[in-house]
Structure 1
Amino acid sequence: MADSSKKMNLMGLTTLVTVNMMGSGIILLPTSMAQLGAVSLLSWIVTAIGSMAIAYCFSQCGIFCPRPGGLSAYTEEAHAKSGFFLCSYLYFLSLAIANVAVAISAVGYMTSFVPWLGTGAIPLFVGTVGLLWLTTVANFGGPGITGRIGAITVWGVIIPVAGLSIIGWFWFKPDVFAAAWNPNNLPIQEAISKAIPLTLWAFLGMESAAQASDAVENPKRNVPLACLLGTLGAAVVYVLSTTVIQGIIPNAELANASAPFALVYAQMFNPTVGNIIMALAVMACVGSLLGWQFTLAQTAKMTADQNMFPSLFRKVSKRDAPILGMLACGVLQTLMALSTISPNASAQFTKLVSLAAVTNLIPYVTAATGLLVMMYKARVSASIYTRNTILLLIAMSYSLYALVACGKDAVFGGLIVLAFGYLLYGFLSKRFVENPPAAQVNTDNA
């Protein structure tokens, strides 16, 4: 059993959730949303409600199912052993894909300081892989150190984004915001649907606390609190910051910005301040990637503990870090970066994000539905069952809507990955037969 002094406390865990959610998505988000117009801000309402409902369901699952395994353990409650494997498998892949996307976005910011990184496919690949391995090795110190580093790097997001949410209103111009409202004259419903994958990407990470449950102090209390506090805090900052920036920077300029928060601070103050914000953004992306690498390794370790992933993922160092598993994850992510290599960071990023969202949403659905069985086993009161079921249906409605909004190509790719997962489990399933047949003796004559 791991030494409790090496485990993450509530502050570290909430920070991990916040970093995972805010570390990369929000920094690039204003540019992506400006391409649809300020009308896309309405999707924040839909995604915030859906994400809070999902986070609430996960917090309840953490109360009724405190055993290690996170989303996979919740899934197993309703969908048996195969559900545990498929949830872990899809979630593991989604994290690996997302890590490559986060690294690409970080390199995109770094091109202002190291222009060579933006000169072609090879420099972009080298920068991406370099960051992936840097954050992999940084996790060798164990979960406690990851939490402490995250507590520092999160300020790279909090300072520019939360700061803009507060002081940005002094520069806010209603006429600039009104001109940016719907430049493409899209129907409201279509604009919201097109923005859903973008806002969902920003909220991915709300489940990080659950996935890291066996590396956390007092998980029965801290996992639910971290899920809710991290998601609520991020939702408030997201809505305020993306609204105020639409009223400061003209929409056409914002839609083509490679670093929107650096741009808005440069306009509010001066270019030097903009460069400082750019540096903070790079720090935040690296911190986000560090947190995601930790969550990826923990997901693989928990699955290996269930005899479903290779045993190398199970082995931990004296500091409770699954180093061999982290090295294997680093190799996998390097191959993913190579397979999607592109001279354009934005094109490569977009290619990865939609597939990551789909392969993340399916585990959300399977894990949250496990709550129904957990409540039945716990014999909860009728009022608790009704309240939780209503919120579960809200969470599921949003998840299904978001799957549709991710587009046919991403959903098709997710379906192929899921089907391949069933094939893999077919080879594993014999390990879990309760009464294996006795060895058969061959009595045939030669």
Structure 2
Amino acid sequence: MNDKTKKPGQKLGFFMSVALVMGNMIGSGVFLLPQSLAPFGWNAIAGWVVTIAGALCLAHVLAKLTAAHEGAIGPAELVERSFGPLAGFLIGFAFWVSVWTGCVTIAVGATSYMSSFLPVLGEHPSLTALGVIWTMTAVNLLGVRSAGSFQVITTLLKLTPLIVVAILIGMIFGREGIATLAPYPDEGLSLSSVNTAAAMTLWAMIGFEAACAASHKIDNPQRNVPRATFYGALLSGIIYLIVCSGITLMLPADKVAASPAPFELFVSTFWSPGPASFVAAFAAISAIGAVNGWTLVQAEVPLEMAKRQMMPQWFARTTANGVPINGLLSATVLGSLLVLANSSQSMAGLFTFMALVTTSVTLWLYLACAAVALKRKIAVPFALIGLVFGVWSLWGAGVDASGLSIVLMLAGLPLYWWTRRSLPKNDLSASTS
């Protein structure tokens, strides 16, 4: 059954699409970032503002590009239509790599949270992360509606600790005013510190492209995908700014920097240790929900590329309930191998390494979409800002991560050439026209 003949009930509606975007964005990063950002103080707040503004510009560009096309279209196809099949493949393959590496990263984060109340899980973090990855693969094998329903539930649950912290921040600030905040530095903000903080916060904003990537599974994509993309990014960014700013500015920086669970520390300090004990559980649910959302996306990307004759038709095979099984299992196996290859690293080291790689690879997609918008003269001011922000962020990620992202993107070229060589001449000329 193709996408045009699928009934609306078999696809994701607007709220499920927003849940997909927010669920993919609100994973593990927001619960870990206050610890890393604590030493930056007010510079961290400025970093959040810059990152959220840049991400919203890119989300707006992606939303406008999607709305300008009839029916469903993914990010790689947008690039292909403007810059040709090779560019479309490179961006699509890079995005696919970023998705399954992101699944690994967030699964490791989930393991970290779960180990705080089940220490035995932390003794073998690689095995626990593999358990999370394969469990979410099983959920997605049940069908897109099962994955979508699971995403709505986990999104609602993961918002609970964020809402609790936001309410506490409002109550404390309403009672004590600015006296509860760390003093603004006499020397003002530091550009280099803001730059570093912004680079750290970018990992938490990645994921707003999820609805576009899964647009073929969304009902009325021309209307729902742009709205879900922008509003999902906006709501997530507002939540990030409130809760992370409160934790960073209302608690002593040295205590936050030394705490492996800054959200739990905040709730324990301003409320009670009892409710704080649930924070780790909700953080684990948050990460698991993000793994579920990215697992759905990682199956869709190779499917759509195979339909456009950029990857072998083997990836186009679907089950009776519409799940692209070969793409789903391939990405899960590759992610599992990546976990096993880095199993000697500590949990923190594995998370940091994977987050850096995922962020760098994803930035190429954002840059390409901004370039498409500029070429087509769509949302030009936002595309320019997004392009500058993307280049600045890629530079801030470091030479090692940026260089590795290029290597991973080019690694798919043999697969592309093999696929194109196997096409009949008539199909090849039609696909390049």
Q: What's the TM-score once normalised by structure 2's chain length?
A: 0.91
Q: Tell me which residue corresponds to 1:7.
A: 11
Q: Distance in 2 between matches of 1:208 and 1:132?
A: 18
Q: In the alignment, is the contact (CA less than 8 A) between 1:65 and 1:73 conserved in 2? A: no
Displacement of 1:330: 1.4
Larger deviation, residues 295-304 vs 420-429: 420-429
Q: Which has the larger radius of gyration?
A: 1
User: More displaced, 326-335 or 244-253?
Assistant: 244-253
Work out whether 1:299 is the aligned partner of 2:290: no
How far 1:142 moved relative to its partner? 1.5
Counterpart position of 1:194? 196
User: Residue 247 of structure 1: SS of its match in structure 2?
Assistant: helix
* Deviation (angstroms), 1:67: 4.7
User: Residue 403 of structure 1 is aligned with which of 389, 394, 400?
Assistant: 394
- For the pair 1:129 / 2:130, whether they are aligned, the reply is yes
Choose which of 89, 93, 97 in structure 1 pairs with 2:93. Answer: 89
Q: Which moved more, 1:395-404 or 1:416-425?
A: 416-425
Query: Could you tell me which residue of structure 1 aligns to residue 163 of structure 2?
Result: 162
Q: Deviations over 1:389-440 (max 9, x none)?
A: 1111011010011000101110111122233334443434435685699xxx
Deviation of residue 356 (structure 1)? 0.7
**How far apart are residue 248 of structure 1 and its match?**
3.0
| Residues 130-139 or 258-267, more deviating | 258-267
Moved more, 51-60 or 338-347: 338-347
CA RMSD of aligned residues (A): 2.3
Alignment match, 1:72: 76
Deviations 1:295-333 (A, max 9, x none): 111112111222222333212222221223222221111
Q: Aligned partners of 2:240, 2:288: CA distance in 1, in Å? A: 20
Name 2:336's counterpart in structure 1: 334
Q: How does 1:19-168 map to 2 (within 5 A)?
A: 19-119=23-123, 123-168=124-169
Counterpart amino acid of residue 394 in structure 1 = I
Mapped to 1, the partners of 2:70 and 2:211 lie a distance apart of 12
- 1:379 matched residue in structure 2: none
Name 1:441's counterpart in structure 2: none
- Once the 2 structures are TM-superposed, how far is the Cα of residue 105 of structure 1 from its aligned partner? 0.6
Are the equivalent residues in 2 in contact too, given 1:355–1:413 (CA < 8 A)?
yes
Structure 1 Cα separation of the partners of residues 408 and 286 of structure 2: 31
Query: Match for residue 17 of structure 1?
Result: 21
Pair 1:275 & 2:266 matched = no
8 Å CA contact 2:108–2:347 kept in 1: the answer is: yes
Q: Distance in 2 between matches of 1:343 and 1:372?
A: 42
After superposition, the Cα gap between the structure-2 partners of 1:189 and 1:144, relative to the gap in structure 1 and judged at 3 Å, is same
Using the alignment, how far apart are the partners of 2:44 and 2:314 within structure 1?
45
Q: CA deviation at 1:124?
A: 0.7
State yes or no: 1:262 paired with 2:288: no
Contact 2:298/2:327, CA 8 A, preserved across alignment: no
- Contact 1:6–1:144, Cα closer than 8 Å, also in 2: yes
Asked if the contact 1:57/1:392 (under 8 Å) is kept, the reply is: yes
2:168 touches 2:270 (CA, 8 Å); kept in 1?
no
The verdict on how the C-alpha distance between 1:433 and 1:34 changes in structure 2, with shifts beyond 3 A counting, is farther
CA distance in 2: counterparts of 1:168 and 1:342, whole angstroms = 39
Asked if 2 retains the 8 angstrom alpha-carbon contact of 1:77 and 1:374, the reply is: no
* Aligned 8 A contact 2:363 2:394 in 1: yes
Report the CA distance between 1:62 and its aligned residue.
0.6
Contact 1:78/1:369 (8 A) holds in 2: no
Cα distance in 1 for partners of 2:22, 2:303 equals: 22
Q: What is the CA–CA distance in structure 2 between the aligned matches of 1:432 and 1:257, rounded to whole Å?
A: 56
C-alpha contact 2:75 2:365 (8 A) present in aligned 1:
yes
Measure, in 2, the Cα distance between the counterparts of 1:38 and 1:124.
34
Tell me the distance in 2 between the aligned counterparts of 1:397 and 1:274.
40
Which runs of structure 2 are paired with 1:168-187 in the superposition (5 Å)? Answer: 168-172=169-173, 174=178, 177-178=181-182
Q: Unpaired segments of 5 or more residues in structure 1?
A: 376-384, 438-446
1:378 — aligned with what? none
Question: Partners of 1:436 and 1:298 in 2: how far apart?
Answer: 22
CA distance in 2, matches of 1:267, 1:95: 36
Contact 1:67/1:73 (CA < 8 Å) preserved in 2?
no
Within the candidate set 235, 239, 242, 2:241 is matched to 239
What one-letter code is carried by the residue in structure 2 that aligns with 1:244? G
Alpha carbons 1:79, 1:366 under 8 Å: kept: no
Q: Deviations over 1:106-160 (max 9, x none)?
A: 00001122112223xxx01110101010111111121112111111111232111
Contact persistence 1:103–1:132 (CA under 8 A): yes
SS of the equivalent of 2:197 reads helix
> CA separation of 1:100/1:111 partners in 2, compared to 1, >3 Å: closer, same or farther?
same
Instruction: Choose 34-43 or 395-404, whichever is displaced more.
Output: 34-43
> What is the deviation of 1:361?
0.6
Query: Structure 2: how far apart are the matches of 1:222 and 1:429?
Result: 33
Count of matched residue pairs? 421
Amino acid at match of 2:24: N
Residue matched to 1:444: none
Answer yes or no: is the 8 Å Cα contact 1:155–1:284 preserved in 2: no
